[in-house]
Chains A and B, each alone.
Chain A
């Protein structure tokens, strides 16, 4: 191997290519490799990918069109004051980049994505469309039994689409495969916490993003390879501050935004992007009724985000504070998409929780196609300097 090339480079280049490929060639090739294969698109924040996997289908994360796609048709469907992800997602579909997708799941995250589910029904009547609701009541006998019902509805829908039953055994096997995926994502995040100079956030991001389009087994291998390559790499530790990036759970920040924050002197040691990969924070049991175990994991072991109700007012923001502490972070960057109701409505409450703990933070907004990074770099740089210069040791 060329000694001047970092060991992570080939993996990152592959992930970058997957990330930039708005035709989803990898997923198309997976579908074409065998007769009868189906692909199910899903939007942020969370869907139980195990059910699609158990149906023999490929779950495909659709996270908008990103910074490079020109939105022409999509803008005709949305007013100027609505965020960009639905318009670029519609653009993907109208330009036939999603013409191989057999179904779309729209999770419960906000009114815009919720209404997009109905728009999809009207615009693409041949596609299986489901608004995937999740409980905001976390009692087993109330929210749990409702959620099991919803999971079974999804299971029935996918069985009808696939033309074959989804067995409990297949579900248990899929849960095991996704447990492995979650373990590896946790390992990746833990590794970045420990040695952020060896696993830059811009690399971790595209490695995670590859999991949106690849079969889970392939993504598991890819993460193992990346972790090994990162450990083998020789990168200098810089005198950066350590921050948590918060608010990027739906519309994605441009990759340049992540790079700009890093270039400004911040190690991103945690974030809330692609929560589907680690929404369930621990292994899901592989015995028992698989729908019950998925439901129980959702109720009792899932992350906090703006789309989820916090029943205990005294704990509002505590998940973020705990993340800051666990990751030994020194501050938080609130980066919310413009017009993102969940992120922007949540932000004052999270900010208060941080203030109560004397954790510094800054806030700005972006769109997935934001191009001008200089102001963000300056703001993040000033934030990093202020932490380094004036924070108490």
Chain B
């Protein structure tokens, strides 16, 4: 019997499809030893899922495990476990949640233990902490570790030198080691097929994100967006399942748009769109529902977000390209959001503010994540200066419940919505450059 205080969540076919995909993947991962399958652990940004599949490896993502544990309110204990083991209270809580999860038996959401990975594929893209994280995991698992160093786009563009470097690493180190670990010979035509499949999903993925330009927006591009990026950012990019998921999702959203409907929230459809926001920064996962509720209760919908670009920026034209398989993987890694320099990120936010006709920018500053957070206050100022729209700032964390203060966040959001109302009444123009 359902709890009358908790409204039933509306489930659309795409949601059910994704839920089944995730459950199946955890089942495959936890049964890998019995099934004779091998497992690669890797990260979301710079995720080389198509390449991993070429070697019949399963893809385990520690960040996703941390998110899962955060949403199921298990991460707090895991983080404290890691801190007891000597990890500083100052560092990334994804890392500590992962280490604490290991200490508690590495239990997957299906209740079964995850197997130790056969290889750690360290795609060092857009986040320094990744490198330390895998050095820490390597101590535990003592398995082969592959470093794929993706240079940072300090000048805001991919240079030939950067691309050549990544391709050489793929060709001369990543692929030979994956062949050795898996016992499967690399077949570039197989990679091309997966990349073509990826591109098909990416087209619909971008269409979904850009549907938020409509008024009212049929989606929430942050709270809903984190579900929409799920398949393409994780273990499903390049699979027919992902293509089918995005086809289903697009169909549902087309119907919503045709009917003039707003986004679906955990408590049903949002009926009135009062505020259109752009959000910079990852969400808080430990109080995800409560956090989202603070928005939809006020009629605030997120029309664009940067977090939904952390595992790949597709809405500026990039697609995986089977004609240039390794170069395309390099460009994908180089182009992930946090691997872009700050001026580029500010331009991106400004574009979102304009193209999605947003009322303002909200920064969710994450204590754990300097890759996102360092520089956000300047980004805010720049957007306010360029657009004349109000920006606001809240602080939470990824998966450490100690850093989510519900009352503070709610107060700040309410004040922010009032600020937007005032701006609307008063009108304003961008400040002179």
Q: Which residues does A use to contact B, with CB under 8 Å?
A: 76-79, 81-82, 86, 106, 108-112, 114-119, 121-123, 130-133, 135-137, 139, 141-143, 145-146, 149-150, 153, 306-307, 309-311, 313, 316, 336, 338-342, 344-349, 351-352, 365
A72 CB → nearest B CB, Å: 15
Q: Which residues does B use to contact A, with CB under 8 Å?
A: 85-88, 90-92, 95, 124, 127-129, 131-133, 135-136, 138-139, 142, 145, 147, 149, 151-152, 154-155, 159, 161-162, 164-165, 168-169, 172-173, 338, 341-346, 365, 367, 370-371, 373-378, 382, 395
B149 touches which of A132, A145, A309, A340 (Cβ 8 Å) = A309
Determine the chain A residues whose CB is within 8 A of the CB of B373 once the complex forms.
79, 81-82
Determine the chain A residues whose CB is within 8 A of the CB of B343 once the complex forms.
118, 121-122
- Is there an interface contact between A122 and B367, defined as CB atoms closer than 8 Å? no
- Is there an interface contact between B161 and A149, defined as CB atoms closer than 8 Å? yes
A268 CB → nearest B CB, Å: 23
Determine the chain B residues whose CB is within 8 A of the CB of A143 once the complex forms.
149, 165
B382 touches which of A112, A122, A316 (Cβ 8 Å) = A122
Which residue on A lies nearest to B161, using beta carbons?
A149
**Known contacts A112-B370, A316-B139: does B375 contact A119 (CB below 8 Å)?**
yes
B106 CB → nearest A CB, Å: 18
Extra A-B contacts (17), CB below 8 Å, given A137-B165, A344-B87, A345-B95: A82-B370, A115-B375, A117-B154, A117-B342, A118-B342, A119-B375, A121-B341, A133-B152, A133-B154, A142-B172, A143-B165, A145-B165, A146-B165, A146-B168, A311-B145, A313-B139, A365-B90
Determine the chain A residues whose CB is within 8 A of the CB of B154 once the complex forms.
106, 114, 117-118, 130-133
Which residue on A lies nearest to B342, using beta carbons?
A118
- Is there an interface contact between A131 and B152, defined as CB atoms closer than 8 Å? yes
B295 CB → nearest A CB, Å: 22
Determine the chain B residues whose CB is within 8 A of the CB of A309 once the complex forms.
124, 131, 135, 147, 149
B393 CB → nearest A CB, Å: 9
A251 CB → nearest B CB, Å: 13
- Is there an interface contact between B149 and A341, defined as CB atoms closer than 8 Å? no
- Is there an interface contact between B129 and A344, defined as CB atoms closer than 8 Å? no
> A307–B173 Cα gap in the complex (Å)?
21
A-B interface, 7 closest residue pairs, ranked by CB to CB distance from nearest: A118-B342, A131-B154, A345-B132, A149-B161, A146-B165, A136-B149, A344-B88
- Is there an interface contact between B375 and A116, defined as CB atoms closer than 8 Å? yes
- Is there an interface contact between B341 and A111, defined as CB atoms closer than 8 Å? no
> A119–B155 Cα gap in the complex (Å)?
12
Determine the chain A residues whose CB is within 8 A of the CB of B149 once the complex forms.
135-137, 143, 309
A88 CB → nearest B CB, Å: 14
Which residue on A lies nearest to B137, using beta carbons?
A313
B43 CB → nearest A CB, Å: 14
- Is there an interface contact between B374 and A78, defined as CB atoms closer than 8 Å? yes
A344 touches which of B91, B161, B164, B165 (Cβ 8 Å) = B91
Determine the chain B residues whose CB is within 8 A of the CB of A123 once the complex forms.
378
- Is there an interface contact between A146 and B151, defined as CB atoms closer than 8 Å? yes
Determine the chain B residues whose CB is within 8 A of the CB of A365 once the complex forms.
88, 90
B152 touches which of A108, A121, A153, A313 (Cβ 8 Å) = A108
Determine the chain A residues whose CB is within 8 A of the CB of B345 once the complex forms.
118
- Is there an interface contact between A115 and B151, defined as CB atoms closer than 8 Å? no
A47 CB → nearest B CB, Å: 13
Which residue on B lies nearest to A308, using beta carbons?
B131
- Is there an interface contact between B129 and A345, defined as CB atoms closer than 8 Å? yes
B169 touches which of A108, A109, A137, A316 (Cβ 8 Å) = A137
A105 CB → nearest B CB, Å: 10
Determine the chain B residues whose CB is within 8 A of the CB of A307 once the complex forms.
128
**Known contacts A110-B128, A136-B131, A142-B173: does B342 contact A150 (CB below 8 Å)?**
no
- Is there an interface contact between B155 and A345, defined as CB atoms closer than 8 Å? no
- Is there an interface contact between B129 and A111, defined as CB atoms closer than 8 Å? yes
Which residue on A lies nearest to B95, using beta carbons?
A345
Determine the chain A residues whose CB is within 8 A of the CB of B135 once the complex forms.
309-310, 313, 316, 346, 349
> A82–B91 Cα gap in the complex (Å)?
11
- Is there an interface contact between B86 and A348, defined as CB atoms closer than 8 Å? yes
Determine the chain A residues whose CB is within 8 A of the CB of B173 once the complex forms.
137, 139, 142
> A306–B127 Cα gap in the complex (Å)?
14
> A141–B167 Cα gap in the complex (Å)?
12
> A309–B138 Cα gap in the complex (Å)?
12
> A336–B92 Cα gap in the complex (Å)?
16
- Is there an interface contact between A346 and B132, defined as CB atoms closer than 8 Å? yes
B371 touches which of A111, A130, A142, A344 (Cβ 8 Å) = A111
B408 CB → nearest A CB, Å: 14
A293 CB → nearest B CB, Å: 19
Determine the chain A residues whose CB is within 8 A of the CB of B127 once the complex forms.
111
User: Among B87, B91, B95, B133, which residue has the most Cβ atoms of chain A within 10 A?
Assistant: B91
**Known contacts A82-B373, A137-B169: does B341 contact A341 (CB below 8 Å)?**
no
- Is there an interface contact between A349 and B136, defined as CB atoms closer than 8 Å? yes
8 cross-chain CB contacts under 8 A? A79-B377, A111-B371, A117-B154, A131-B155, A145-B165, A313-B145, A340-B90, A348-B87
> A309–B92 Cα gap in the complex (Å)?
18
Which residue on A lies nearest to B145, using beta carbons?
A313
- Is there an interface contact between A150 and B161, defined as CB atoms closer than 8 Å? yes
